[in-house]
């Protein structure tokens, strides 16, 4: 397949379980673009799971590594960048990501998120509180931020990965 060359990055943001990683891989395959999954890069860099990084060093340490990784990767163009759910809470990350990037918010309702991730204990912020009311509370704290950072809002609740991917491609 011929390579699409966009003079910008496709940046995926949104809550845990919104589908950023899997949709990112779909986009990268469909468009022949490189994919940079920020959490995966952090795991490789520290040779550790996200849960272990939080456990051993704390959230602030993780956020620092996340900030450095985003600053580095944002210099790319023509790449898909999947962010962790908390990345856009830090303004310098937003500035870096938006500099070369079109930002897509993968939007999902709390019920959808809960159904998607309830059996997954890899997320330290939800590990001991994997229930709908906690997800609802955390998501509502972040909702306005996701909305304001996004150039485009992408509905995910009732769509397949392929449909979500196609809907993003139409906007590029
Ligand atoms: C986080 C989301 C996670 C990961 C970390 C913190 C968050 O990424 O970066 O556990 O603050 O929402 P995913 O959104 O890929 O689960």
Whether residue 171 is contained in a domain is answered as no
User: Rounded to the nearest 5 degrees, what angle is found at the Cα of 160, between the Cα atoms of 172 and 122?
Assistant: 100
| Cβ-contact 17, 106 below 8 angstroms | no
To the question of whether residue 67 is assigned a binding role by annotation, the answer is no
To the question of whether residue 34 is assigned a binding role by annotation, the answer is no
Please choose, from the candidates 172, 135, 134, the residue with its C-alpha nearest in 3D space to the C-alpha of residue 151.
Answer: 172
To the question of whether residue 43 is assigned a binding role by annotation, the answer is no
**Above 60 in pLDDT, residue 60?**
yes
Give the pLDDT score at 4. Answer: 66
**Above 80 in pLDDT, residue 59?**
yes
Q: How far is the CA of 21 from the centre of ligand 1 (A)?
A: 11
Q: Indicate if ligand 1 lies below 6 Å from the C-beta of 16.
A: yes
DSSP for 113-158, please give it.
HHHHHTT----TTTGGG-SHHHHHHHHHHHHHHHHHH-SEEEE-TT
Give the pLDDT score at 143. Answer: 98
DSSP label of 87? G
- Report, as an integer, the average pLDDT of 48-75: 98
- Report, as an integer, the average pLDDT of 130-147: 98
Whether residue 2 is contained in a domain is answered as no
Give the pLDDT score at 5. Answer: 84
Angle between helices 20-31 and 161-169 (to 10 degrees): 60
* Tokens describing residue 71: 């600053």
Q: How far is the CA of 73 from the centre of ligand 1 (A)?
A: 17
Position 50 confidence tier, pLDDT thresholds 50, 70, 90: very high
Q: Indicate if ligand 1 lies below 6 Å from the C-beta of 142.
A: no
Arithmetic mean of pLDDT over the chain: 96
Top mutation candidate among 50, 52, 56, 110 for ligand 1, by most atoms within 8 Å of CB: 50
ipTM: 0.98
| Rounded alpha-carbon distances, angstroms, from residue 106 to 58, 65, 95 | 27, 23, 19
What are the phi and psi torsion angles at 40 (to 5°)? -65, -40
How many domains is the chain built from? 1
Please choose, from the candidates 69, 66, 75, the residue with its C-alpha nearest in 3D space to the C-alpha of residue 101.
Answer: 75
Q: How far is the CA of 137 from the centre of ligand 1 (A)?
A: 15
Between CA 2 and CA 32 the distance in angstroms is 7
Calculated CA dihedral for residues 32, 76, 70, 45, nearest 10 degrees: 70
Task: Report pLDDT digits (tens) over 70-101.
Answer: 999 999 999 999 999 999 999 999 999 999 99
Give the pLDDT score at 46. Answer: 98
Whether residue 170 is contained in a domain is answered as no
Give the pLDDT score at 2. Answer: 52
Whether residue 4 is contained in a domain is answered as no
To the question of whether residue 60 is assigned a binding role by annotation, the answer is no
Q: Which residues form the domain of 87?
A: 9-164
Q: Indicate if ligand 1 lies below 6 Å from the C-beta of 124.
A: yes
Give the pLDDT score at 29. Answer: 97
Which atom belonging to ligand 1 lies closest to the Cα atom of 142? Answer: 12
- Report, as an integer, the average pLDDT of 137-165: 98
- The whole-model pTM stands at 0.97
Whether residue 133 is contained in a domain is answered as yes
CATH number at residue 42: 3.40.50.300
Whether residue 111 is contained in a domain is answered as yes
Rg (CA), the chain: 15
Which residue do the tokens 């059996």 mark? 119
What are the phi and psi torsion angles at 104 (to 5°)? -115, 125
% residues pLDDT > 90 (the chain): 95
């Amino acid at each position: 397949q011929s390579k699409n060359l966009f003079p910008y990055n496709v940046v995926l943001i949104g809550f845990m379980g919104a589908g950023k990683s899997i949709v990112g891989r779909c986009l990268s395959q469909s468009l022949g673009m490189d994919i940079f999954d920020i959490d995966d890069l952090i795991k490789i860099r520290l040779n550790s799971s996200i849960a272990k990084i939080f456990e051993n060093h704390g959230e602030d340490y993780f956020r620092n590594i996340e900030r450095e990784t985003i600053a580095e990767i944002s210099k790319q163009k023509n790449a898909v960048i999947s962010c962790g759910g908390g990345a856009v809470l830090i303004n310098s990350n937003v500035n870096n990501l938006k500099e070369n990037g079109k930002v897509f918010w993968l939007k999902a309702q709390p019920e959808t998120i809960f159904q998607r991730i309830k059996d997954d204990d890899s997320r330290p912020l939800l590990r001991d509180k994997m229930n709908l009311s906690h997800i609802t509370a955390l998501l509502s704290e972040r909702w306005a931020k996701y909305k304001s950072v996004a150039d485009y809002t992408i509905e995910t609740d009732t769509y397949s990965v392929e449909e979500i991917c196609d809907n993003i491609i139409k906007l590029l």
